[in-house]
Amino acid sequence: MSRPESAAELSALYQDLILDHYRRPRNKGALENADTRVEMKNPLCGDEIALQVAFDGNTVSDLRFSGRGCSISQASASMMTQLVKGKEAEEIKAIGRRFRDLMLGDASAAGEKELGQLRALSGVARFPARVKCALLAWNALETALAERST
């Protein structure tokens, strides 16, 4: 039986950029004057995230995250906060949809510029057990956006 992960796939998963975000997460900490706070847990592995979002109309003016988890969940959250800050809700939702496509192995998503550094996470698609780690922050953000719109 062949293992699902070759050495090349492992290297693709743990790129320097991902380890850099894991060890020096951007936008980590508490956000004063946040409008929304969402907590999410991954019950399987114990990863947890608390996301605080400040809005200016429909625009995410600032956001911070806290919590702990594996390199994939932390890097994904860090990259996400950098990418969506200053963007409008609809645009963020569209990026989120494409990021989900990327995690489901849609190769075309890997070429899309609007995903920015998140494209470094494309290797996660080869590790089905880890996809939920990469999506944890996005689930929190989408919940925050949904709460804002109601």
Partner 1 sequence: MRASRSEVRTFNGARDVNRRADFPLLANDPGLHYLDSAATSQKPASVLDAIRDFYETSNANPHRGAYALSVRATECYQQARQRIARFLGVRDVDCLIFTRGTTEALNLVANSWGRAHVSHGDEIVVTALEHHANFVPWQQLAIEKQARLRVCELSSDGRLDLDCLRGLLNSRTRVVAFNHVSNALGTINPVAEIVELIRENSDAISVCDGAQSAPHLPVSFDTLGVDFYAFSGHKMLGPMGIGGLIGKRATLEAMPPYQTGGDMIEFVGDERTTWNVLPHKFEAGTPNAADAVGLSAAVEYLEALGMDRVLSHERSLMSRAQTRLEEIEGLRIYGPPALGRSGVVSFTMNDVHPHDLATILDGQGVCIRAGHHCAQPLMRRLDVPATARASFYVYNDEADIDALVTGIMKAREIFGYVPT
Residues at the interface with partner 1 (CB under 8 A): 1, 3-7, 9-11, 13-14, 19, 22-23, 44-48, 68-72, 127, 129-130, 133
Closest separation in Å from C-beta 49 to partner 1: 12
Q: Please give the structure tokens belonging to residue 92.
A: 């963020």
| Cα dihedral 65, 74, 104, 95 in deg (nearest 10) | 40
Q: H helices within 47-108, ranges in order?
A: 71-84, 89-103
Closest separation in Å from C-beta 50 to partner 1: 14
Asked if residue 134 lies in contact with residue 141, where contact means CB atoms within 8 angstroms, the answer is no
Taking alpha carbons only, the member of 82, 84, 66, 63 closest to residue 74 is: 66
Closest separation in Å from C-beta 59 to partner 1: 33
Task: Provide the β-strand partners of residue 39.
Answer: 50
Closest separation in Å from C-beta 56 to partner 1: 34
Q: Which residues contact 21 (CB under 8 A, 6 or more apart)?
A: 74, 75, 78, 79, 117
